[in-house]
Structure 1
Amino acid sequence: MSLAALLASSDDDALAALTSKGVLIRAKKDVDAGKVTLSAQEKDSATFNVAGEVLTLNAKSLDTARCTCPATGICRHIVAAVIFLRDQAEVTTDAGPVPLDFTLQEIEKFAGKDWPAACGLAEEAQVPDTKGTVIASFAESAAKVTFPNGGGLRDAIYKGPVAAHKRRSIAAAALAVARANGAALPEIVAQTSAPYADAGTLDRITAALEMAAISLAAGTFAQAQAHLFNIAVDTRAEAIPRIAAELRGLSKNMDPEALRTASVTPTDLLGGIARSYALAEALRLAPDDPALVGVLARTFAPSGPKSLAFVGAEIWQTPAGARGLTMMFSDLEDGTIYRAVQARAAGTDLTFNPMHQWTTTLWSLAKPSAMAGRTITLPDAAIAGDNGLGLNQTAIFGAAIGLGDLLGVQTDWQELHQAVRHQLGEGLRQRAGDALIILKPDSLAGIGFDGYAQVAVWDWMDANGSCVTLKLPDDPGLRAKLAALVRRIKAGLVAFPPGGGLGRLLSVWMDDAGPLCLGLDQLPKPKGVGAMMDRFLERAIPRAESEIAPLDPLALYFERALEAVATNLSGRAGLPQSLVSDAQSLGLGQVLAADEAWRADKDVRAALRLAYVLSAGRDLARGER
């Protein structure tokens, strides 16, 4: 690199990344005050006097510059010399912003063994532009990677809480740049080594969780919040991806403002701490169990040919700002529902529009909006462990199919809860995300509105008269159209959340051909005699009235018991006698055993074990409703 090229890459953003904004400001003041003089200059070096200090720049890099001041690293005198020479040569004006791009091959070579971690981290990287000096930021870890104007991977500047994450973060930022330039990121990534939970890391994690529980009881969060985050981003903890993610979430939720605004409750927070504690204890027994350890990067494995049917889609956005389109497909051989997701992390690719993806060709085959009613064959399906489908594969259309060709369609609501459990798993092995189930009702009630939850609801009945209440999208126009089509609706795809609660209706079948996605497809308008019948039935079918749901005694008990644990963590061990008596009446043997252990041990570890039992029981009770 020549001295001119070094100066061209050293704009203000790059200099601030190398040092700090404060150093940059002080250096500019030195230049403006006339404290910088050029003593000598050759092709690849220059000597300066800056505020009484003597320094030499060379073309290799700013890290090799030498100054007589006592500061270590790149000091303000070096920065001032760069600004002075850069402005004198006007290199930034002449060179202009250079477009930045990388090939996947050079990124993989640079990343080395960190390649799988970089692929997983790339989803989090935010890159606003790919010209000139490019700054990539990572929301969760607060890390930043700066690519100086015209520089490459080895010129990148990393600033973050964990120095050992430099290479993976630079590679992830480069992948985000490649994605912004139109490259399809890799989906099938070889994991070089399996994640493993070592005893020392688990000891530090459990100690941090115990401190967090005590801090919750005492109302002092700052130290525990910082400690949880520091452990979460520690290199060894990140070798256990699942618990590292839970620790980051707990750190974010241990915010007094979040508790003050009730966006998170103390019992929810205690339940989360207890769940992470139970996960750490389980990892001691099974330190290499993939279900407990988690995966460092989402990987897609070749899985042979698959014949699928399109069953629905949903546009979504998280509170943090991530957004996307999820498309659902049912396996025609066993009824498994797979997901293909087009999404962007919060703050990334501001031009990305999930609705546009609905009309964009998928798998070089067709738009998702045109896939209903046809067999879709993936010759060698790329499938992730969470039943995600890779986006970079090819597919072909097969024979026409209808609702009657799908497997796993539920017609008996007594079997519904077991179907949800089967998809999501239970306890510490419960998978993230919703359970997706196709329901075929025997009859439908009128659409109503729950004034307490402020959502439109719809009761679907099976042949035995059992009722399941579904939640509709927040769109009055859509609800009116559905209400006029009640007679024609045969089935629907429903997303049931893991913690219980109302299922979301995503798509409906109005005949045997294929589903219509709510909020994405245009619902047909009734015509002729059928329209008259639909309007009559819409008025005749009783609407579901809003009412206060009866309190579930089990869910209420678990909530009260969790509150008692949170209160007694810093006081007398054990549940109040009234709650012990209630547990005896309800036949809650595990709660009674965990309470006895807490009374005997009188420590926070036993309290967290009881809190986990209560939290798991509360989740099960909510799911039963």
Structure 2
Amino acid sequence: MTGLPGWLAVYANLDDTALAALANPGLVRRAVREVGAGAVTLASTSADEVALTWAGPPSVLVRLTAKGPTQARCPCPVAGVCVHVVAACVWARSTVTGGRDEDGEAAADPLAEMLSWEPAAINRAAGIAAVRRVAATDLAGDTSVQVSGGRASISWPGSPSVVAVAGTGFAGLLVSGTHSDVAERAIRLEAVVRVFQREGRSWPWPERVAEPGTLQPGQSEALSGLVDGIEFALQAGLSHLDEAAADRLDGSAQRARLEALPLLARLTASAAGRVRNLGRRDDDTAESQVLAALARAWGLAQALRAPRALDQEALVGREGGPVSLGVLVPLSAAWWTAPSGARGMTVRLWDTGSRRVETVTTGRAAGADPSFVRSWEAPLLWGVSASYLCGGPVRLDGAERRDDGTLSPTTRTRVVRERGWAGLDLADLARDVNAAAVSGSVGFGRTPEQVRLIRPRHLLGVGPMEVDEVAQEIVWEIRTASGTELLRLDAAGPAFQTATSLLAGGDKLAALAVVGDRLEAAFVERSTGLGLISLSLTPVRQSSSSFRQLQRRLERVAKTARAHRSEPRRGPIGRLCAAAVEVLEAMASTGRLAPTPRQADALRQRADQADELGLAVLAGALRPLAAGSAGVDQVLRAAVIVDRVGALAEVRRT
């Protein structure tokens, strides 16, 4: 080690297990090969850093510091830990261990070092958001600790692997996988706390943090700042909001995330995006959408001020991360295109373990990645095609969940075929899926679209297709054991071609997957067995002559359907909420929150209708506005109640 700083000895404790936690085993194997081939050489050294050159191509300069591998610096554009950093660590490890005498000092004990840490200092290093998260976590369950030289691997049920390397401190704890900053610091802190508990030592938390459900000062400040910002925006008028208003909301979203309020952060970030689009006069963004987004964030902030609100996951939300799932039965795969030009695919699967519908969406922005196109056979998600995903039940290795509760389309997830469709009881599947749809709930976040499986009767279950030329849609009559369903298909999309192809082909329709009021997929029984067809992705087979006339008629309708957007079909509650939103939008757009005589009369009528429908809370929110004495807080309260009642009505209608 002549000429090298003494702190480089820390890298001697980085065995392959530690480096795999830092990156992944594949990068470690490649780095070892490259170092063995002489690809890494010493460029310069100082008391603070060691600079190493990766021969390339291209040539890269990697800098190692005394803070360990997590603080190594590389200028390459790779997100996360790159092979250059791993190779630099391998070079440092081999250089240090190669220069040791056989009678050299034994490796330091990482557990003894960890147990010598001062809890107060570790809490400060982890940050208040991570401290709150771990303090509220149930630390039951065995903690596995395996020590090898200067490295200790720590894990517990459902956790990633945490590797402690002697000499690198709390910041040098290595966590396998990819996590948000707060989540990774929380995992490090939990590992330390568990090691202390394993040795019979308690962990002192900062004052009040350990009290469950207690709103912390920083959280209170974040809520107050957000509420004030939203109320100021409404008083200014939605039509007058600009980029600065969106930036303020973005700042509030970041503060909420740092204060361990992930759902509030997500709703606020969504509202900021809509405000920004409205300020840019985006045609796809309406004042009503901005009002609803602001009202949801405002309403959640108010709800979080209630006692014990932090004990409810439905209000706090949860961070994304690794998730364990059961066998997943595919229900539908749908290709979509947004008005902005963005496109993507959404797949819905039934988790037989948790008995819930899981959703995953992958997509690209307008103009991005020309190779990402609608295809049944191309690998669009998790490295496999829609055809493979719809080929039968699967398992996911390395599945991750996003903050919004949907599954992540990350390429780290691997799809494993569980079995084919043989043995699947479609009647039981339909009963379970439909029961979950009926029990759907509405919170402050995005309301998932309800998925139903409709099973046509064996005799005369599939009715005729008709063209609704006024709505420019195709109406398909399906008769079930419980009544008649009228399913609607977009005349401008590929769904009607696939549907008519199914009818012409003579396949038996065993079940239809309906999302909201859209038909997305069909289970068909063929001579080869059960199959799942995506109406927007599966290639169309040649139709018989009996359907060519209908096809030509539908194609004529499709030519005019592109400029038409049919009105949503609503029940009486939905129509009431839509009418109330029109008045609230007009008031919020201008910033003049005192209603005009006409608006006041409309609000009184809506309140009377709400009373007739038994919606006392909604009526009570609208009447003060009609009186003309309401403040901005009452306008927002009415907006969030109208928005959530409308969402609940949609869930119950489906």
TM-score by length of 2: 0.55
* Native 8 Å contact 1:238 1:244 kept in 2: no
C-alpha distance in 2 between matches for 1:361 and 1:316 = 13
Displacement of 1:259 in angstroms is 7.8
* Of 419, 429, 438, the match for 1:397: 419
Decide whether aligned partners of structure 1 residues 153 and 584 sit closer, same or farther in structure 2, where only a CA change above 3 A counts. Answer: farther
Q: SS of the counterpart of 1:400?
A: coil
Q: SS of the counterpart of 1:227?
A: helix
C-alpha distance in 2 between matches for 1:202 and 1:519 = 43
Q: Determine what percentage of the aligned residue pairs are the same residue.
A: 20
User: What do residues 432-480 of structure 1 show as CA deviations (whole Å, max 9, x unaligned)?
Assistant: 5433322113434444455566555534343454333233581264354
Q: Which residue of 2 aligns with 1:276?
A: 297
Displacement of 1:278 in angstroms is 0.9
Decide whether aligned partners of structure 1 residues 150 and 320 sit closer, same or farther in structure 2, where only a CA change above 3 A counts. Answer: farther
* Of 464, 468, 492, the match for 2:486: 468
Displacement of 1:262 in angstroms is 4.0
* Native 8 Å contact 1:259 1:265 kept in 2: no
Displacement of 1:109 in angstroms is 6.5
Q: Which residue of 1 aligns with 2:151?
A: none
Displacement of 1:153 in angstroms is 11
Q: Does residue 562 of structure 2 align to residue 562 of structure 1?
A: no
Matches within 5 A, 1:479-498: 479-482=499-502, 484-485=504-505, 488-496=508-516
Q: Which residue of 2 aligns with 1:593?
A: 620
Q: SS of the counterpart of 1:466?
A: strand
* Of 429, 440, 458, the match for 2:455: 440
C-alpha distance in 2 between matches for 1:111 and 1:358 = 42
Amino acid at match of 1:612: V
* Of 309, 321, 327, the match for 1:298: 321
Which moves more between the two structures, 348-357 or 270-279?
348-357
Q: SS of the counterpart of 1:254?
A: helix
Q: Which residue of 1 aligns with 2:261?
A: 240
C-alpha distance in 2 between matches for 1:235 and 1:344 = 27
Amino acid at match of 2:453: I
Amino acid at match of 1:595: L
Decide whether aligned partners of structure 1 residues 488 and 535 sit closer, same or farther in structure 2, where only a CA change above 3 A counts. Answer: farther
* Native 8 Å contact 1:309 1:331 kept in 2: yes
Displacement of 1:97 in angstroms is 2.7
Q: Does residue 387 of structure 2 align to residue 427 of structure 1?
A: no
Matches within 5 A, 1:119-518: 133-134=76-77, 192=187, 198-216=219-237, 219-234=240-255, 239-255=260-276, 260=281, 262-285=283-306, 286-301=309-324, 306-316=326-336, 325-331=345-351, 336-339=356-359, 341=360, 343=362, 346=365, 350=369, 353=372, 358=377, 369-370=387-388, 376=394, 384=401, 386=405, 388=407, 391-392=413-414, 394=416, 396-397=418-419, 400-402=422-424, 404=426, 406-409=428-431, 420=437, 422-423=439-440, 425-428=441-444, 432-442=447-457, 443-449=461-467, 456-472=474-490, 474-475=493-494, 477-482=497-502, 484-485=504-505, 488-496=508-516, 502-511=517-526, 513-518=530-535
Q: Which residue of 2 aligns with 1:50?
A: none
- Return 5+ residue gaps in structure 1 as ranges: 1-42, 46-57, 62-91, 113-130, 137-144, 155-163, 169-183, 497-501
C-alpha distance in 2 between matches for 1:299 and 1:268 = 32
Displacement of 1:370 in angstroms is 4.9
Q: Which residue of 1 aligns with 2:201?
A: none
C-alpha distance in 1 between matches for 2:449 and 2:71 = 34
Matches within 5 A, 1:57-68: none
* Native 8 Å contact 1:216 1:266 kept in 2: no
* Native 8 Å contact 2:576 2:609 kept in 1: no
Amino acid at match of 2:456: P
Q: SS of the counterpart of 1:279?
A: helix
Q: Does residue 596 of structure 2 align to residue 581 of structure 1?
A: no
Computed over aligned residues only, the root mean square deviation of the Cα atoms, in angstroms, reads 5.6
Q: SS of the counterpart of 2:439?
A: helix
User: What do residues 356-403 of structure 1 show as CA deviations (whole Å, max 9, x unaligned)?
Assistant: 795559999x9763566755567x995759474882375543782345
* Native 8 Å contact 2:475 2:487 kept in 1: yes
* Native 8 Å contact 1:372 1:513 kept in 2: no
C-alpha distance in 2 between matches for 1:267 and 1:420 = 27
User: What do residues 165-197 of structure 1 show as CA deviations (whole Å, max 9, x unaligned)?
Assistant: 9xx9xxxxxxxxxxxxxxx96599875379987
User: What do residues 266-289 of structure 1 show as CA deviations (whole Å, max 9, x unaligned)?
Assistant: 222212211111111122221243
Q: Does residue 637 of structure 2 align to residue 609 of structure 1?
A: yes
C-alpha distance in 1 between matches for 2:88 and 2:225 = 34
User: What do residues 548-568 of structure 1 show as CA deviations (whole Å, max 9, x unaligned)?
Assistant: 888755444323323333444
Displacement of 1:110 in angstroms is 2.4
Q: Which residue of 1 aligns with 2:647?
A: 619
Decide whether aligned partners of structure 1 residues 495 and 372 sit closer, same or farther in structure 2, where only a CA change above 3 A counts. Answer: same
User: What do residues 24-66 of structure 1 show as CA deviations (whole Å, max 9, x unaligned)?
Assistant: xxxxxxxxxxxxxxxxxxx979xxxxxxxxxxxx9979xxxxx
C-alpha distance in 1 between matches for 2:646 and 2:337 = 27
Q: SS of the counterpart of 2:487?
A: strand
Amino acid at match of 1:603: G
C-alpha distance in 2 between matches for 1:504 and 1:613 = 30
Amino acid at match of 1:516: I
Displacement of 1:576 in angstroms is 0.8
Displacement of 1:507 in angstroms is 3.4
Displacement of 1:207 in angstroms is 0.8
User: What do residues 139-181 of structure 1 show as CA deviations (whole Å, max 9, x unaligned)?
Assistant: xxxxxx999x999999xxxxxxxxx99xx9xxxxxxxxxxxxx
Q: Which residue of 1 aligns with 2:70?
A: 110
Decide whether aligned partners of structure 1 residues 523 and 111 sit closer, same or farther in structure 2, where only a CA change above 3 A counts. Answer: farther
User: What do residues 557-582 of structure 1 show as CA deviations (whole Å, max 9, x unaligned)?
Assistant: 32332333344454464661343134
Displacement of 1:310 in angstroms is 3.6
* Native 8 Å contact 1:507 1:515 kept in 2: yes
Decide whether aligned partners of structure 1 residues 535 and 420 sit closer, same or farther in structure 2, where only a CA change above 3 A counts. Answer: same
C-alpha distance in 2 between matches for 1:550 and 1:353 = 33
Q: SS of the counterpart of 1:490?
A: strand
Q: SS of the counterpart of 2:227?
A: helix
C-alpha distance in 2 between matches for 1:294 and 1:577 = 39
Which moves more between the two structures, 211-220 or 254-263?
254-263
Amino acid at match of 1:488: K
* Native 8 Å contact 1:312 1:506 kept in 2: yes
User: What do residues 273-315 of structure 1 show as CA deviations (whole Å, max 9, x unaligned)?
Assistant: 11111111122221243222223333313x5xx4443433234
* Native 8 Å contact 1:436 1:493 kept in 2: yes
Which moves more between the two structures, 283-292 or 329-338?
329-338
C-alpha distance in 2 between matches for 1:280 and 1:372 = 41
TM-score by length of 1: 0.57
Q: Which residue of 2 aligns with 1:21?
A: none
C-alpha distance in 1 between matches for 2:81 and 2:381 = 33
* Native 8 Å contact 2:487 2:519 kept in 1: no
C-alpha distance in 2 between matches for 1:441 and 1:477 = 20
Displacement of 1:515 in angstroms is 1.5
* Native 8 Å contact 1:98 1:150 kept in 2: no
User: What do residues 586-625 of structure 1 show as CA deviations (whole Å, max 9, x unaligned)?
Assistant: 4242223123455597321121111111222333455538
C-alpha distance in 1 between matches for 2:447 and 2:61 = 36
